[in-house]
Chains A and B, each alone.
Chain A
Amino acid sequence: TQLLEQSPQFLSIQEGENLTVYCNSSSVFSSLQWYRQEPGEGPVLLVTVVTGGEVKKLKRLTFQFGDARKDSSLHITAAQPGDTGLYLCAGEKSGAGSYQLTFGKGTKLSVIP
């Protein structure tokens, strides 16, 4: 069972276009993290959202955590070729004595010059 569903799985757009990718779940998360991974490298954290309804901006990237803390979105404005990569969301659930950070399968973004 995949706790975090990311959509779309693949996305190919032209430079300058806007896009939104989604991370959805039926579970409530204490926090949600977004990572970007380039081919052959490890993921790098972009942002962590903690509060329901929270919006964080990182230059042209806008991250939103759903009010119910079950979903999140990443919006990129005026995409650039450097934005190309695999975008992963990861949800953290508080659990006594256990570690629970679940990753989605990711959205593979290609920005064409």
Chain B
Amino acid sequence: SQTIHQWPATLVQPVGSPLSLECTVEGTSNPNLYWYRQAAGRGLQLLFYSVGIGQISSEVPQNLSASRPQDRQFILSSKKLLLSDSGFYLCAWSVAVLGDTQYFGPGTRLTVL
């Protein structure tokens, strides 16, 4: 069966510090991968998606970047965090990009102080 992992589960970082969140998927090959941010009262916002190694599409220009160094690994990064980067970050995978079920990881709660 497929599983998706995210770490860390929670993170408290000062403004201006770097960020690296990791997501890995097991039990499937060549998944489509997604990073979402869920801020209070704002629903899920798609940040990045990837259909293959090294292929990243950005949905919203911002202070963050994503990378996919391996087939089942997706990393969300920032060089300098802003207060507005606080939120709940969710990684998800699917078999197809459009109209397919997305399976979400447990999320990372990021607080920038």
Contacts and interface: CB of A to CB of B under 8 A. Distances in A.
B98 interface: yes
Given A103-B43, A104-B43, A105-B43, A42 B104 contact: yes
Contact of B42 (A43, A44, A105): A105
Interface residues of A, number: 22
Given A31-B99, A42-B92, A103 B106 contact: no
A41 B107 contact: yes
B90 interface: yes
Interface in A72-107: 88, 90, 92, 94, 99-101, 103-106
A43 B44 contact: yes
Interface in B13-63: 36, 41-46, 49, 57, 59
Contact of A30 (B49, B92, B99): B99
A5 to B, nearest CB: 10
A100 B57 CA distance: 12
A101 B46 contact: yes
B101 A45 contact: yes
A100 B34 CA distance: 12
Interface string A29-63: 01101000000111111001000000000000000
Nearest to A104: B43
A80 B99 CA distance: 30
B106 A99 contact: no
Given A30-B99, A43-B104, A94-B98, A99 B42 contact: no
B97 interface: yes
Given A43-B44, A99-B49, A105-B43, A92 B99 contact: yes
A42 B107 contact: yes
A97 to B, nearest CB: 10
12 contacts: A2-B43, A40-B106, A42-B92, A43-B90, A90-B44, A92-B98, A99-B46, A99-B57, A101-B98, A101-B102, A103-B43, A106-B43
